[in-house]
Structure 1
């Protein structure tokens, strides 16, 4: 718990709040999330900490990011802003290089490019003595800086994301893939970048359904996706190879989970919020159950680790960090996992679902964002007049 002596109040430590605060200081989402996670881990077992002690702990972790980041974190939040950014309703918020950089994250630019663009933009505004600026003008200047540094293609990417941001349309990201390919990791990262607050795992949906449907009624539901075939009713005289049985068992489990996935999608549709669903059960057929809504943009993708040795190494690494996720069982059935991934990639290719290879964190995150951008580009032209109006 964090104690505020001035307010005489105790509140829990919230990693998400600290992550946002660090982004405002100029750190990327990945950097902010890592630092906030490290601090959360350090606070495990600590009964209570004052807010001043927490700030000192944060500053200690910011040492490696340089004096400028530290100074931004130290600045009092009530300080009068040098530059006000006003929206269409005339409301003003302080210009922040951190927030400016955050608006570039969906474009998938390199961190150093985003930092440079945000710094150049701030320096130009300061040099020209600008104390107030309208949002459309800020967008226009940002676009000009992007084109100057990174070219027209990067500028177009920025325009598409900004046009989408001005719309009232929502995203539905469907991240499929077997265990160990990074679905939950990248779902969390991309949610932070795109400001999506709803993430749903199909594994969690399966756990709920297991409570509702006992094993005697739905035996395939009570096994891992790659072992569901072993719970299928036996038919006398039936013979099939292991790959065929694995596919049939998996698809039977998918059929059951599709009901829950459809319910989650309908709920998000009703509440008009964006949503990320991640899990092995996101077979391309799930797209048939996406709500029909012109304001909803569904983006399916299949994550994969294309080298067997790399998949094994990732599962081993995950076992060290999260032993409760049963890495030993996954390693024991690595052949089944590999066969299931081969089947999923074949199905993704058949249904035209983009495949994103996870061979490098930065490239994979960029690949996911580019996949989303490609879907946006089918609806948004990136017209400067719309973005800057």
Structure 2
């Protein structure tokens, strides 16, 4: 068995914790949202400090002093608050289900993958993957909506459905979402039945339509969005370059009105159902907010179960 169900404990050394490890502590610090470079810099300083003091154990209070020294008081304090929350999360020993929603091109897959890496979660999947699987089982005649992209799912509606009520683009997207969420619920149920943590991302994680009340896990849902349309559009240029044109750029640029329409609808629903909205201006800022959500949720659960 190569996967871990829960997060590894902090390598603080001594008799009660795993042996001190500069590499593992650097990874734990990265889970607080600190950059990899800064994480390693602080872990290296802590390693030198332990050598100077002739000890094999790191105290969190001493690490807090070193964090202020290396990172500055503000960043050091923020890092240690998050690290203590991370320590509480590890002690809960329960699986984490992190749901990262957002419209096409908002960076949700990058954020989800990075969050999983920092939290030590090995299971990451997307609602697009679930939708693609459903396409193999259900013909266009039987379930037309899953055979379209989220932003053009309105094309799957019949004329009567288009004329019934509302915007056809949103109606088509929500119809597709209802179908895909059947697979999403099954994936979450399987993960919880086996006791594994998982990160799930996708446009179909619509606030108010996903069951987040799972007593046997920490379930955190958030919505990633981009306020500035030009910045949003630039994400497709970056993705086009990174994937060497695997997904046609022009198609997404032409669909920006539909994509922005869906984003606005998702944000409105997020406010209505108290789902945090993370404006993705920079990856470091967005990652910090996502990790804060996970860690603060764990902290509240720890207080309840204490």
Band the TM-score falls in, shorter-chain normalisation: 0.7 to 0.9
What residue number does 1:282 align with?
205
Counterparts of 1:235 and 1:374 in 2: how far apart (Å)? Answer: 47
Is 1:142 the equivalent of 2:92?
no
What residue number does 2:192 align with?
269
Is 1:85 the equivalent of 2:7?
no
TM-superposition CA deviations, 1:294-324 (whole Å, max 9, x none): x411110111111111111111221122212
Aligned length, in residue pairs: 289
Q: Is the 8 A contact 1:265 1:291 kept in 2?
A: no
What residue number does 1:260 align with?
183
Q: Measured at CA, do residues 270 and 291 of structure 1 come closer, stay the same or move farther in structure 2, by a change above 3 Å?
A: farther
Q: Is the 8 A contact 1:176 1:302 kept in 2?
A: yes
What residue number does 1:305 align with?
226
Q: CA deviation at 1:280?
A: 0.5
TM-superposition CA deviations, 1:326-345 (whole Å, max 9, x none): 32211121111111111111
Q: Measured at CA, do residues 238 and 100 of structure 1 come closer, stay the same or move farther in structure 2, by a change above 3 Å?
A: closer
Work out which structure has the larger RCO, using CA pairs closer than 8 Å and 6 or more positions apart in sequence: 2
Q: CA deviation at 1:357?
A: 1.0
Counterparts of 1:140 and 1:234 in 2: how far apart (Å)? Answer: 66
Matches within 5 A, 1:114-153: 114-130=39-55, 132-133=56-57, 137-146=58-67, 150=73
Q: Is the 8 A contact 1:160 1:380 kept in 2?
A: no
Larger radius of gyration between Structure 1 and Structure 2: 1
Q: Measured at CA, do residues 221 and 287 of structure 1 come closer, stay the same or move farther in structure 2, by a change above 3 Å?
A: closer
Matches within 5 A, 1:1-389: 85-86=13-14, 88=16, 93=19, 95-109=20-34, 113-130=38-55, 132-133=56-57, 137-146=58-67, 150=73, 154-235=79-160, 238=163, 244-288=167-211, 290=212, 292-293=214-215, 295-322=216-243, 323-381=245-303
Q: Is the 8 A contact 1:102 1:193 kept in 2?
A: yes
Counterparts of 2:150 and 2:165 in 1: how far apart (Å)? Answer: 18
Counterparts of 2:177 and 2:241 in 1: how far apart (Å)? Answer: 29
Q: Measured at CA, do residues 292 and 359 of structure 1 come closer, stay the same or move farther in structure 2, by a change above 3 Å?
A: closer
Unaligned residue ranges in structure 1 (runs of 5+): 1-82
TM-superposition CA deviations, 1:262-298 (whole Å, max 9, x none): 000011101101111100000013432x4632x4111
Counterparts of 1:125 and 1:237 in 2: how far apart (Å)? Answer: 68
Q: CA deviation at 1:370?
A: 1.7
Q: Measured at CA, do residues 119 and 236 of structure 1 come closer, stay the same or move farther in structure 2, by a change above 3 Å?
A: closer
What residue number does 1:43 align with?
none
TM-superposition CA deviations, 1:142-180 (whole Å, max 9, x none): 345346653655433221110111221121111011111
